[in-house]
């Protein structure tokens, strides 16, 4: 075996070892959580109406946040991928802001725009909608912390589509809207779908922002926290296992669907 092959083999072993340590770091806490849950405790938790309601609330509000705000995120992502304009880098920085600020600060920021004294709050009052302590507030909080994942993924997807395809369609008489929906959107769909999945997962797991805007009704992360602070690990771990299991199953399903679509 020559020197180059030996070096490559050694590097591969080192990288494999380091990667294995990282995987162990990720898997060990989750596996420990499952191992510390008794079947009796898990069965009792699955039958708990409060747990089932909180999991369902987390699922549908995160999905609603993803679907509703995707109508705003995808057009913005296309503009960022195709257009050059003043302060474009500033806009990109603003988009990433919810990722870097503390979750509690994110909740306070969202609370400031959905209170009854805010413009949004007053407008919502006119149609009988309230945000504080309601699913609507949960949706807004989830969307705020998770929207960057969709915008960034969609922007990269649109940027990867050759612009000449769109220009060719336009020269052949297609309208800009038709070029977008028949060329740009289908070709960027893989990245957009990844962004949708990431946004949904990030929103569903949000705790800090949600608990400030809407402590009740309780999403699964809020319920798990309350049970931990009130009763300790004995009652919080089974609830966490149920929620994590649901998340993992759905995430795997979405990934399989995405893989099938991409095939």
Angle at 27 between CA 54 and CA 63, to 5 degrees: 30
pLDDT for residue 41 = 83
Residue 184 in domain: yes
- Examine the domain organization and report whether 74 and 3 are in the same domain: no
Residues with Cβ < 8 Å from 183, sequence gap 6 or more? 161, 165, 166, 169
Of the listed ranges 44-48, 127-131, 157-161, 210-214, the least confidently predicted one is 127-131
Residue 41 in domain: no
Q: In the numeric block, which tokens belong to residue 181?
A: 């929906």
- Examine the domain organization and report whether 88 and 167 are in the same domain: yes
- Examine the domain organization and report whether 116 and 55 are in the same domain: yes
Q: Is 118 helix (H, G, I), strand (E, B) or coil?
A: coil
Rounded Cα–Cα distance for residues 23 and 10 (Å): 20
**pLDDT at residue 88 is higher than 60:** yes
Residue 15 in domain: yes
pLDDT for residue 3 = 61
Which is higher by pLDDT, 12 or 149? 149
- Examine the domain organization and report whether 12 and 127 are in the same domain: no
pTM summary value:
0.88
Q: How many domains does the chain have?
A: 2
- Examine the domain organization and report whether 20 and 138 are in the same domain: no
Phi-psi region of 128 (alpha: psi -120 to 50; beta: other; left: phi over 0): left
**% of the chain exceeding 70 in pLDDT:** 96
Contact 222, 210 (CB under 8 A): yes
- Examine the domain organization and report whether 127 and 173 are in the same domain: yes
- Examine the domain organization and report whether 161 and 242 are in the same domain: yes
- Examine the domain organization and report whether 72 and 199 are in the same domain: yes
Residue 97 in domain: yes
Q: What is the 8-class DSSP label of residue 161? A: S
**Domain span including residue 242:** 49-262
Query: Strand ranges (DSSP E) for 106-199?
Result: none
- Examine the domain organization and report whether 105 and 181 are in the same domain: yes
Q: Tokens 């959905």 identify what position?
A: 114
Residue 42 in domain: no
Residue 43 in domain: no
**Residue 191's closest CA among 77, 115, 72?**
77
Which is higher by pLDDT, 127 or 81? 81
Confidence of residue 8 (pLDDT cuts 50, 70, 90): low
- Examine the domain organization and report whether 70 and 16 are in the same domain: no
- Examine the domain organization and report whether 172 and 57 are in the same domain: yes
Residue 120 in domain: yes
- Examine the domain organization and report whether 132 and 219 are in the same domain: yes
Residue 213 in domain: yes
The CATH code of the domain that includes 189 is: 1.10.3720.10
Tens of pLDDT, residue by residue over 185-238, are 999 999 999 999 999 999 999 999 999 999 889 999 999 999 999 988 888 899
């Amino acid at each position: 075996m020559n020197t180059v092959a030996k070096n490559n083999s050694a590097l591969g072993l080192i990288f494999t070892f380091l990667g294995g340590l990282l995987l162990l770091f990720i898997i060990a806490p989750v596996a420990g959580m499952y191992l510390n849950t008794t079947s009796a405790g898990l069965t009792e938790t699955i039958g708990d109406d409060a747990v089932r309601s909180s999991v369902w609330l987390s699922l549908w509000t995160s999905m609603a946040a993803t679907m509703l705000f995707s109508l705003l995120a995808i057009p913005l992502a296309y503009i960022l991928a195709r257009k050059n304009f003043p302060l474009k880098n500033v806009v990109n920085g603003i988009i990433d802001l919810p990722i870097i600020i503390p979750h509690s600060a994110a909740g306070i920021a969202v609370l400031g725009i959905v209170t009854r004294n805010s413009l949004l709050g007053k407008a919502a009052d006119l149609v009988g909608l309230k945000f504080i302590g309601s699913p609507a507030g949960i949706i807004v909080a989830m969307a705020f912390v998770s929207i960057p994942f969709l915008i960034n993924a969609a922007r990269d997807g649109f940027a990867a589509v050759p612009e000449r395809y769109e220009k060719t369609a336009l020269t052949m008489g297609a309208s800009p809207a038709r070029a977008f929906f028949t060329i740009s959107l289908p070709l960027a769909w893989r990245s957009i779908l990844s962004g949708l999945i990431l946004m949904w997962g990030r929103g569903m797991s949000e705790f800090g922002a949600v608990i400030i805007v809407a402590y009740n009704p309780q999403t699964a992360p809020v319920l798990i926290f309350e049970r931990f602070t009130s009763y300790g690990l004995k009652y919080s771990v089974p609830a966490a296992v149920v929620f994590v299991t649901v998340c993992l199953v759905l995430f795997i399903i979405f990934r399989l669907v995405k893989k099938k679509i991409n095939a």
